[in-house]
Structure 1
Amino acid sequence: MSENISRRKFSFKLLVEGKDDLYVTATIRDAHQLPDNFEIVDCEGIDKMPDQIVARIKLQRPKINTIGIVLDADKDLKARWDSIRDTLRKENYEVPELPEKDGTVIAGIDRNPTVGIWLMPDNLQLGMLEDFVQYLIPESDLLRPYVGEVLRKIEGLNIDSLYNPQSHRAKAFIHTWLAWQKDPGTPMGLALTKTYLDHNAELCLRFVSWLNRLFNPY
């Protein structure tokens, strides 16, 4: 991975929710040898992202040419999309009613920068970064079914202190799977580097294609 993940000199910005998103995205960028031409910005949570988006839009060209936005769909994809859509429409963007399957790219009007949006995991389903990463588990993997089996058994015990299966199962799944690898507890980004995860999985290639459309269109 590049030593300097975030370089403020870049006029291309990719806004992400947190550090896990940052490291996974940076590792995918490097694995596919994309140009190191955009700054990945940790917005430190979804609540801060609207202000981060607006602040960079207002810088306008040439300081900011392109803004990418990566965020979780979570439990209500339409509500998440409508929230981002409302933010951008207030800044004079024409945003489609629904996200595009392969990631959305919206041209800026006048001096506004181009904006791209990717809703984790795949712009179509509910979920989060951890759901995206699950899709990168190799198809030949032998541990995946056992992780699911173990989680189902634990969830059936109705333990008060247990994670919420409705909202945190993806996190429990991927981190259990990572705990069973040769180097237990490897972070998601490093798991890509160690090739525990497949950066050539179909969903990852779609994400890379969106990054290229956004930051390397020519």
Structure 2
Amino acid sequence: MPPPPKNSPYRLIVEGPDDLHAVTHLMKRHGFDWDDAARTRPFIESAGGIDELLEPLKRSTDAKSYARLGLVLDADLKVTDQWARVRGCFSSLGILLPDAPSAEGTIVDIQQPGLKVSRVGFWLMPDNQQPGILEDFLGRLVPVDDPCWAYADEVTNQSRARGGRLAQKDHAKGRIHTWLAWQKEPGMPFGTALTAKLLGHDSPEALRFVAWFQRLFS
């Protein structure tokens, strides 16, 4: 699957490669044709972390270089703190964001002379309202009747009691990787697991994300 051109006027910046592949393959499951050269497709950039995602936007005109710009980042431990950081970054560019992120994903249309960007969008994993990360979002795509999912949660907790070094803040990562390790093809990457339909594609959060993506880049 060839990527959209890097010089696309639409840009989606995500924290890391796991986010990139998860978004790409989730949207493909919903019929988004990344190969359709007749449509303007966002180039997805993996920043390499939250600092690497936001800091360049503060120091340069990167945020103003695209007709449409989307950011996907983890809410982490506190949604309000992460959103305040995002708001501060864009405030320094003269782009004012709402006081709180929308549960449906935040999109702001910009009509400001001298700015190329006309629309910016933000999605805080997992659902714009609760603390968490990409793996929490993907965990909600595990089939609800899968008996190993609850067990993966249990043994991930038990691992710490047995000397496992997984931090509590990384529990969601350990849980989903444990569950993926027990599949017929162990340890699939997230994008491959979506394509193989080990993971679903239509949780409420996933449907809201897809609707947000389509509104932002339609």
Q: Same fold (TM over 0.5)?
A: yes
Taking the aligned partners of 1:191 and 1:134, their CA distance within structure 2 comes to 12
- Inter-partner Cα distance in structure 2 for 1:140 and 1:146: 12
Change (3 A) 1:43 1:6: farther
- Return the alpha-carbon distance in structure 2 between the equivalents of residues 101 and 30 of structure 1: 23
Q: Name the counterpart of 1:38.
A: 42
**In 2: Cα distance, 1:55 partner to 1:139 partner:** 44
Contact 1:6/1:39 (<8 A) preserved: yes
TM-score normalised according to structure 2 size: 0.90
List runs of 5+ in structure 1 lacking aligned partners: none
Superposed displacement of residue 6, structure 1: 4.5
1:147 maps onto 2:148 in alignment:
no
In structure 1, the residue corresponding to 2:166 is in which secondary structure? coil
**Match of 1:201, as an amino acid?**
S
1:28 maps to which residue? 26
Q: Distance in 2 between matches of 1:102 and 1:79?
A: 19
Which structure 2 residues correspond to residues 104-183 of structure 1 after superposition, within 5 A? 104-110=106-112, 111-113=115-117, 114-157=119-162, 159=163, 162-165=165-168, 167-183=169-185
CA contact (8 A) 1:6 1:41 kept: no
Paired residue for 2:63, among 53, 57, 63?
57
Count of residue correspondences = 207
Shift of 1:155: 2.4
Gap regions ≥5 residues in structure 2: 35-40
RMSD: 1.4
Q: Which aligned segments of 4 or more residues in structure 1 are displaced greater than 4 angstroms?
A: none
CA distance in 2, matches of 1:151, 1:42: 28
